[in-house]
């Protein structure tokens, strides 16, 4: 992870540029997912903790303005996220060569997500317009779960204080349970991914 930090720090700066983007995004999210605003107090609590654990996370955005000059249009946070993943993919692929094993996991997760978030399909036409080559992102998304699975022991070693997040997650879980009542369908999969 420490190898990634200098790279991330170089690639991304001025995360506070993200705030106007979020300001644009919130009304859209409010329409698509009205209950999500219940999470704001939790996020307000969580943010300082993340700031302490990952101080370099505040470095985030000049390359994106170059890659996507129209990023302030509809759903710009996703517009921001995809170039980041696209830029990080070669690095992650080098660090975690087993990433491609996510294919079967996504194949299992997708129907569950379809049940939990029926309105997510409203995003597809918008995403397809913003990202005509969006389907090339599937291999990138494919990588995320094995990366986390591989990364967890490393994070445990590098950031022993990560366990200070547990009380927050413990508070957050009932709220997520109310917002997404089908979330427990994911537990068997999570148990397979993270047996401990």
Q: Where are the chain's structural domains? A: 4-193
Which pair of tokens denotes residue 34? 């009205």
- Per-residue pLDDT for 10 more than 50? no
* 109-137 burial: b if 16+ Cβ within 10 Å, else e: beeeeeebeeeeeebeeebeebbeeeeeb
98 or 29, higher pLDDT: 29
Alpha-carbon radius of gyration of the chain:
17
The band of 173, judged by pLDDT with boundaries at 50, 70 and 90, is low
Distance set, CA 54 to CA 14, 40, 65, 158 (Å) = 15, 20, 23, 11
| 182 touches 116 (CB < 8 A) | yes
Most confidently modeled of 16-20, 97-101, 173-177? 173-177
- Distance in angstroms (rounded) separating the CA atoms of residues 119 and 103: 23
Task: Give the pTM.
Answer: 0.17
């Amino acid at each position: 992870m420490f190898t990634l930090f200098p790279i991330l720090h170089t690639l991304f700066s001025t995360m506070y540029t993200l705030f106007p983007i979020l300001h644009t995004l919130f009304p859209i999210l409010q329409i698509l997912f009205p209950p999500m605003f219940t999470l704001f107090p939790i996020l307000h609590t969580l943010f300082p903790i993340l700031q302490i654990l990952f101080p370099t996370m505040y470095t985030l955005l000049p390359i994106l303005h170059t890659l996507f000059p129209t990023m302030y249009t509809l759903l710009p946070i996703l517009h921001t996220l995809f170039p980041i993943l696209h830029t990080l993919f070669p690095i992650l692929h080098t660090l975690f060569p087993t990433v491609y094993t996510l294919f079967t996991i996504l194949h299992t997760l997708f129907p569950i997500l379809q049940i939990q978030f029926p309105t997510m399909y409203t995003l597809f036409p918008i995403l397809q317009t913003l990202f005509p080559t969006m389907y090339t992102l599937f291999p990138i998304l494919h990588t995320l779960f094995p990366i986390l699975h591989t990364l967890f022991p490393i994070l445990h070693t590098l950031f022993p204080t990560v366990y200070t997040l547990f009380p927050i997650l413990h508070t957050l879980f009932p709220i997520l349970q109310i917002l997404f009542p089908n979330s427990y369908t994911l537990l068997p999969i999570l148990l397979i991914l993270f047996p401990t």
